[in-house]
């Protein structure tokens, strides 16, 4: 493998890894709907937090709203999975053609979109809204901050990797 191909190969492998992960997450949420539905329900209801009356007005206890939030999460995960699976295919196509033609630009754009979708879900959705607004950090049982932070960080690292300077990226801009 040449030095010029190292970064695209790494980008392909890491995009595929995250694509498989979020595909399995979405699949699990669809096939085992109730498990994570309980998670979302408890986080939104804030029923395992410190029950501080200054915060409890934020709780969402309506089952319809809780289910709508959970279905929205699943749809978002599924869309992100589809984008990242497509991005993986674009990376593979770029590698097969040695970066010729459209190069890696379409793969980089699709990967960026998919990773940003995940960073919004895990960073904004779980860390900011779930963790802070709904005080998920207070719960010993229904606390997904560690997993959300892990996914946010991994997505961010891969996002940085695909935007590192590379001779192939410069060649695309020139061509």
Interval 54-71: pLDDT, tens: 999 999 999 999 999 999
Distance CA 33, CA 78 (A): 14
pLDDT band at 98 (very low <50, low <70, confident <90, very high): confident
Q: Give phi and psi for 32, each to the nearest 5.
A: -125, 60
121: Cβ contacts below 8 Å, ≥ 6 apart: 73, 76, 77, 80
Mutual orientation of helices 3-31 and 145-162 as an angle, nearest 10°?
150
Tens of pLDDT, residue by residue over 68-83, are 999 999 999 999 999 9
Q: What is the pLDDT of residues 134-171, one digit of tens each?
A: 999 999 999 999 999 999 999 999 999 999 988 776 55
Q: Does position 2 have pLDDT exceeding 80, yes or no?
A: no
Confidence at 3, pLDDT banded by 50, 70, 90:
low
Residue 87: pLDDT band with limits 50, 70, 90: very high
The CA distance from 98 to 82, in Å, is 24
């Amino acid at each position: 493998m040449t030095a010029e191909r190292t970064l695209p190969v790494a980008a392909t492998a890491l995009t595929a890894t995250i694509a498989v992960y979020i595909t399995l997450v979405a699949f699990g949420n669809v096939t085992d709907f109730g498990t994570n539905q309980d998670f979302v329900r408890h986080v939104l209801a804030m029923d395992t937090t410190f029950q501080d009356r200054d915060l409890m007005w934020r709780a969402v206890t309506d089952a319809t709203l809780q289910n709508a939030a959970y279905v929205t999460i699943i749809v978002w995960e599924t869309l992100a999975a589809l984008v990242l699976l497509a991005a993986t295919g674009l990376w593979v196509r770029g590698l097969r053609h040695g970066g010729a033609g459209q190069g890696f630009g379409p793969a980089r754009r699709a990967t960026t979109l998919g990773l940003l979708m995940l960073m919004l879900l895990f960073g904004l959705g779980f860390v900011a809204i779930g963790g802070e607004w709904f005080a998920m950090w207070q719960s010993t049982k229904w606390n997904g901050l560690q997993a959300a932070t892990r996914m946010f960080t991994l997505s961010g690292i891969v996002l940085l990797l695909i935007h590192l300077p590379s001779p192939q990226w410069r060649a695309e801009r020139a061509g």
